[in-house]
Amino acid sequence: MWTLPIFTKNASTESAASSNGHGLIELRGVQKSYKTAVGDYPALKGIDLEINAGEFVSVIGKSGSGKTTLINMITGIDRPSSGEVWVHGTPVHTLRESQMARWRGKNLGIVFQFFQLLPIISVVENIMLPMDFCNSYPLRERQARAMHLLDLVGLADHALKLPTALSGGQQQRVAIARALANDPPIVIADEPTGNLDSKTAESVFALFNELIAQGKTIIIVTHDSGLAKRTNRTALITDGEIVNEYLAKALPMLTPAQLLQATRSVKAQAYEPGEMILMEGRNSDAFYVVSKGTVEVVLPRPNQSDVIALQLGPGKYFGEMEFFHDHRNRASIRACETCQVEVLAMDYKTLSELLKTSEPALEALHQSADQHEQENVQRRGANE
């Protein structure tokens, strides 16, 4: 395991995220089209995405889905056709080219899929280059810092070699060290482990986790769903649109195309702390997925206070019992007393049409409904 140097938490990053009540990174209605011989090709279609300081986020999707284009919007390597991109309080979509490179050098550490190391200068000079460009460290300290970063990724012995003398995996590790040169608050990596053996890939992932623990924000693009599951959040992109991550968590048996259909179908509903969402004995008319906060499943008791039978957080769902068992709900659902709640509601007609296209999802929800029905009957009997 490599030893991690101490990086300072970026206080301005934290204050920027907290003072305006928004995420460290925000994409608002971002669209990107490219001109082709047969007309405009829409690579991104109205992307809304918010990433908070200190999060470890993976962007996943099949080839051509828009993953790299999305990352290029955040880094300013490409510009949206419409919409806004805000990073660390800066409207990136408005920056001039003369401003972009310096802003990027101070705020972002970028690990490119194909390294993009300069072939005519040594490995250690490649790592010093961002420091030279941004004048971020005293001149006398830059080489020592570059060597420290090379030691971090296990390549200090190769410092004076040209990048072309290294293997692909070694070049990727140099690229990661270079991305950390200016101690940026945000690290963005495009397929960072794609050219590494499993042992080195594991070490890189451990490094990312330690950086997260020290307050950095990391976004990785990957095709590896197993790797994506190890990050805090996953943004699944399909045909240029972001699939709702909470629907994906609640209904993992759906295909990306089916999840995109579901994302387009749901309506977000907000509730204040303690507000009732569903009342016992009344027909519910929708399937719900929690997307923010916690909801409480409440069972009434005659002449006594209600009992909280269950709490459901983001990615959990309710309303499936009424859909399958066709009776009035046996419990009440309310927002917890201490937090605001947001749920995603899908009417039963839409849910029925969706489940017709997915036998696995139909079976999984039906089993869940049967299990929850039995549990509620048992809880009610125990409390009467």
Which helix (DSSP H) or strand (DSSP E) does residue 238 occupy? strand 233-238
Residue at token pair 């490409």: 78
Distance between CA atoms of residues 241 and 234, nearest Å: 14
Task: Identify the pLDDT of residue 102.
Answer: 87
Any alpha helices (H) in the chain, and if so which ranges? 11-19, 67-75, 97-107, 123-134, 139-152, 168-179, 198-213, 225-228, 245-250, 256-265, 320-325, 348-355, 359-383
pLDDT of residue 63: 85
The pair of structure tokens assigned to 295 is: 């909801």
Q: What angle do CA 306, 310, 316 make, to 5 degrees?
A: 140
Question: Which tens digit of pLDDT belongs to each residue from 265-319?
Answer: 999 999 999 999 988 756 578 999 999 999 998 876 666 677 888 899 999 999 8
Span 226-241, pLDDT tens digits: 888 889 899 999 999 9
User: Which pLDDT score, from 0 to 100, does residue 294 have?
Assistant: 96
Confidence (pLDDT) at 19: 38
DSSP secondary structure, 81-111, as one string = SEEEEEETTEEGGG--HHHHHHHHHHHEEEE
Task: Determine the Cα–Cα distance for residues 164 and 128; give it in Å rounded to an integer.
Answer: 18
Domains of the chain as residue ranges with CATH: 52-77+94-242 (3.40.50.300), 260-383 (2.60.120.10)
Q: Which of 280, 312, 310 is nearest to 295 (CA)?
A: 312
Angle between helices 198-213 and 168-179 (to 10 degrees): 10
Whole-structure pTM value: 0.81
Mean per-residue pLDDT pooled into runs of 10, the chain (384 residues): 46 42 86 91 94 94 90 94 94 91 90 88 95 91 94 91 90 91 93 79 84 92 85 92 93 92 94 89 80 89 73 92 71 90 94 92 88 66 56
Structure token pair of residue 321: 């019992």
